[in-house]
């Protein structure tokens, strides 16, 4: 794949990421923000310390939320487009649409779902402020491990395929990935700082909404980018024209 195609796919990936970010923003505003407001109300009701807001809550839930989600969408769109350029033609006989969906599904699993299962998202008022650095470090460590193990699983599957066949090689690589992720879960320290009186339903709804945002983002990106990539890589052939410039009629195949 030449540099011109990579540049064009990178631009399309960022545009698809932006459009997917808009959809994720709608989900975040409708599902996530009400749970954040409820968590803040719980914190205010159970805390005697009231800090002055540097940024108002209304600004956080509108312009701040939109900026964060859209910038994130553009960034992951560009990165996923580069991953698509590497994966296309190297993951079997998949076209651009299928490859885009595979990349999106793999990114959702490795970048979000695997770290989320070990260190799930928590709303405001959950977590000790003194441990935020430790919690952030552990989360990103789990994310990096997940990405590296995913890449290793893909390489392992490709190397086993000639001996075991594609299906058995995929199963073996997937099993190895699960075992290593399980070991990472076991050895990395657990963090549980949820207050005992925090509503379990609110915590569950917040985590589901966080998962829904990521699912919307990556699914929309895969569908949109797959369409744009296919149109770029597999353009429709222009119809043949006769001497007068009119489109020549297509002849039906014989037999």
pLDDT digits (tens, 9 = 90+) for 198-243: 888 888 999 999 999 999 999 999 999 999 988 888 876 445 555 5
Asked if residues 254 and 113 have their Cβ atoms less than 8 Å apart, the reply is no
- Sequence-distant (6+) residues with CB within 8 A of 192 are none
pTM, two decimal places: 0.82
Question: How far is Cα 152 from Cα 233, in angstroms, rounded to an integer?
Answer: 28
> pLDDT per position in the chain (255 positions), as tens?
566 688 889 999 999 999 999 999 999 999 988 888 888 887 777 665 555 566 677 777 778 888 999 999 999 999 999 999 888 877 767 788 899 999 999 999 999 999 999 998 888 777 677 778 888 899 999 999 999 999 999 889 888 888 888 889 889 999 999 999 999 999 999 888 787 888 888 889 999 999 999 999 999 999 999 999 888 888 764 455 555 555 555 544 443
């Amino acid at each position: 794949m030449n540099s011109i195609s990579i540049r064009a796919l990178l631009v399309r990936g960022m545009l698809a990421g932006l459009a997917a970010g808009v959809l994720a923003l709608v989900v975040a505003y409708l599902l996530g923000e009400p749970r954040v407001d409820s968590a803040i109300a719980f914190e205010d009701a159970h805390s005697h310390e009231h800090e002055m807001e540097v940024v108002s809550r209304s600004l956080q839930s509108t312009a701040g939320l939109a900026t964060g989600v859209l910038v994130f969408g553009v960034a992951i769109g560009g990165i996923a487009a580069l991953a698509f350029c590497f994966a296309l033609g190297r993951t079997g006989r998949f076209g651009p649409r299928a490859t885009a969906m595979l990349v999106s599904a793999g990114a959702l699993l490795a970048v979000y779902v695997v770290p989320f299962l070990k260190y799930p998202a928590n709303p405001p008022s959950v977590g000790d402020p003194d441990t935020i650095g430790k919690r952030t470090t552990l989360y990103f460590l789990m994310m990096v491990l997940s990405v590296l193990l995913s890449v290793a699983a893909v390489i392992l599957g490709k190397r086993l395929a000639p001996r075991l066949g594609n299906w058995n090689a995929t199963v073996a690589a997937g099993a190895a990935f699960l075992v290593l992720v399980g070991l990472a879960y076991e050895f990395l320290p657990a963090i549980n700082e949820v207050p005992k009186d925090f509503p379990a339903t609110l915590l569950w709804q917040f985590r589901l909404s966080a998962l829904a945002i990521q699912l919307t983002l990556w699914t929309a990106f895969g569908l949109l980018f797959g369409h744009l990539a296919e149109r770029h890589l597999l353009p429709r052939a222009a119809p043949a024209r006769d001497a007068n410039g009119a489109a020549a009629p297509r002849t039906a195949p014989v037999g």
